[in-house]
Amino acid sequence: MKSLYLGIMTGTSLDGVDIALCRIDETHCEALEAETYPFEKKLARQLRSCMREEVGLMETLKAQKRLSEYYVACIERFAKEHEIDLDTVEAIGIHGQTILHKPEEGLTLQIVDPGKVAVMCGTDVVADFRRQDVALGGEGAPLAPIFHRVLFAQKAQKIAVVNIGGIANVTILDDENVSGYDTGPGNALLDLWVRKHLNLPFDKEGKWAREGKISHRLLVSMKADAYFAKKPPKSLDKRYFDETWLEDRLKSVDRLSAEDVQRTLLELTVQTICEAIIENKAEKVVLCGGGAYNGFLVERIKALLGDVETTISEQAAYLEAMMTAWLAYARIRRKRLDMRGITGALRPYVSGGWYAGGR
């Protein structure tokens, strides 16, 4: 029997709140409606501030309260615009906003007040999908590969699904096997640099990067980071590849124009993604996430992969919102997720906390 679920996702790029209404059963997840609502600028600034370790508990709790209220506002707007009766929705899956992820220390934190959202919407909410994995010795990320198997697995081909958000991650699907890991920065450094120099939220279609030239010396310096040589399972906190990290690498090269740095950052994202695909001998590539809409980035990926079939998912913009809906479905049905080949968790487990809504 198919049931209706809502999925809510906000990624590390902080570009908006993605919502998807999905019809789900044991083998399918179909998006019926989907929208993205831009972040309020003040809220985005609050959340970026929370990603700095020196920010205190009170500031973080205030940001969590405001984010939860904004989730509710977006849910209500979505329901109104698409004439959805929330009483027909079995549950809302919410990932929350990652502000810290250090699995090597047994720490991961996604802020949201799921109880508040459940009470205000009158609908059950499932959240907190990562900590069970970390408690079992796993990386807690990426979560997407287990869901990508539902959507994309084909017995005839070895498929790589690449999600390009603030951090990029790859899923490898081979018959019944699934694996995946974070490859490195996706849009995070690109967005940081264009925000700093052009005061724009992102480099639309990669137009600014296209104006620059690659600094091979800078690219070599960046790719020498130990993370890229680390073997999976592995995952990243967005703050790993931050402004301090970039400025340290810029010290090793002669002065570059801002657009040359942007071009080199784009190449870093492209090469680290493609190296993962080639290493895993994928026969087909599906791109999703915000980076799939960066025309120059996609052009470069296709150029490096040559004859490997590379497409953009029809659900590219809201695939992770669909994932949170599916994770909520899995939690309510006590479905055990086997993340051993993805995150390194010790055993399969039931993921997420369930918060009753009720009206």
Could you tell me which CATH number the domain at 144-317 has? 3.30.420.40
Report which secondary-structure segment, H or E, holds 323: helix 319-332
> Which tens digit of pLDDT belongs to each residue from 321-340?
999 999 999 999 999 999 99
- The C-alpha atoms of residue 179 and residue 202 are separated, in whole angstroms, by 30
How many of the other CB atoms lie within 10 Å of CB of 294?
Answer: 26
Question: What 8-state DSSP symbol labels residue 212?
Answer: S
pLDDT band at 358; cut points 50, 70, 90: low
pLDDT band at 302; cut points 50, 70, 90: very high
Q: Give the pTM.
A: 0.92
Which CATH architecture fits 3-140+319-355?
A: 2-Layer Sandwich (3.30)
> Which tens digit of pLDDT belongs to each residue from 221-241?
999 999 999 999 999 987 899
> Which tens digit of pLDDT belongs to each residue from 254-272?
889 999 999 999 999 999 9
Fold agreement (3-140+319-355, 144-317): yes
Above pLDDT 70, what percent of the chain? 98
Q: For the chain, which residues make up each domain, given as ranges?
A: 3-140+319-355, 144-317
Torsion-angle region of residue 341: left (phi > 0), alpha (psi -120 to 50) or beta? Answer: alpha
- The C-alpha atoms of residue 101 and residue 326 are separated, in whole angstroms, by 22
